[in-house]
Structure 1
Amino acid sequence: MKKIFDFGKKEQFPPGPSIKLPNFFGDQTSNYIPGYVIQNKDLGKIHQAALLGDVFKVQHLLLLGKNGVNDVDRKKRTCLHLACANGHPDVVSLLIERKCDLNLLDTDHRTPFMKAIQCEEEECATILLQHGADPNIGDGSNNALHYVSYFLGIDLAAKLLHYKADIEAKNKEGLTPLFFAVRGKNCEMAEFLLKNGANVNALDGSKRYSNKSFKIQKQHF
């Protein structure tokens, strides 16, 4: 039988380099990888199909009853995690139709929604929000709005706020999304957050005022 995968030891999905994030992102800064590092032995057939976006095979395996919609692999990733990380909205929609749990955590303490955000898969993230995914479940260091405020766009930030994301959420270091926008020199995002009620006087974990940081950073945009 021909193997579906031949990764060798490990391969990153979606393919791409690791990212160096500033230290205020928390523990994951040394080698932050938005996607998943996959090993063939970690995946069952249904997880392989979800990873590749094979919606018909995922549906077939579910109909046969050989796999459940919330089955996890060795890293506690569900099919929904893998589909979201790799941008397969058809698989996401199928799994939601089959009543999957939207907020299960993988071994990195991330929900499928967090993986969609980290991998910049906005269509998958939107589908999850529309069906009740919790935008405020973080990964132990940050939540989705922190990531969006630092390196993604206003449209997605607006969508998160529409679905009740906490604009004053603090990460592990005590930092709010506004701080991330300021430190990312994203003036447009900072202005957007302020217009939507972000507290400019919020203290970060080092007891520095965000408004002071904003005034300093804004000069360099």
Structure 2
Amino acid sequence: MIALLHTSPVHVPVFDALRDRDHPGTELRHVVDEALLERALAEGPGAVADRVAEIVAGAAADGARGVLCTCSTLGATAEAAGAALGVPVLRVDRPMAAEAARAGRVVVVATLRGTLEPTVALIREEARRAGREDAVAIRTVLVDGAWELFLAGDREGCLALVAAAVDAVGDADAIVLAQASTAGAADRVATAVPVLSSPRTGLRAAVTAGASVPPVPPLSR
């Protein structure tokens, strides 16, 4: 069983569909806490570290082989909680960032300003790990108005704005969709530049990692 930490319920059917297509038989346990992102944006990710650690510990106590954090803003916080508790935790965008680090000119596209810095930092981390720190140039694009549409429940309108922003990108070897919630924009673009998204590769990595470790010992909550 893999536990998934979400800050929006829109991710639940997306990851269930990916599980059914790519990993049938895998049990996913979804934990949705929308207040986490709201507080992290207002006060910084450190403000929710204790709550994230509580969720990770609870997942382990329930028998999860690992935890996948689908919120890019909270990814580093979740990984730190896992390291402190001895629980395997993967941020959903790490495999995507590792792929982006193999490109030269990378453009990170997001609907939320608070997601840009963590995503850029993760790509730089993966570039350093690959010995390519000086070979990767990163710039960012914030899609105005898309986050407001997402909050209003207009997912199609949000994805349309993101796709238009992606198609407007020039001089890039890879375009990164920083948020799992915008992955659907990749199916709407016309650009020939590779567009990278996180849900499928992130879930694959989590399932692979979960299959390679024994059940996590229960932790006190």
TM-score (norm 2): 0.27
Larger of the two Rg values belongs to structure: 1
More relative contact order, 1 or 2 (CA 8 Å, 6+ apart) = 2
Structure with greater strand percent? 2
Structure with greater helix percent? 2
TM-score (norm 1): 0.27
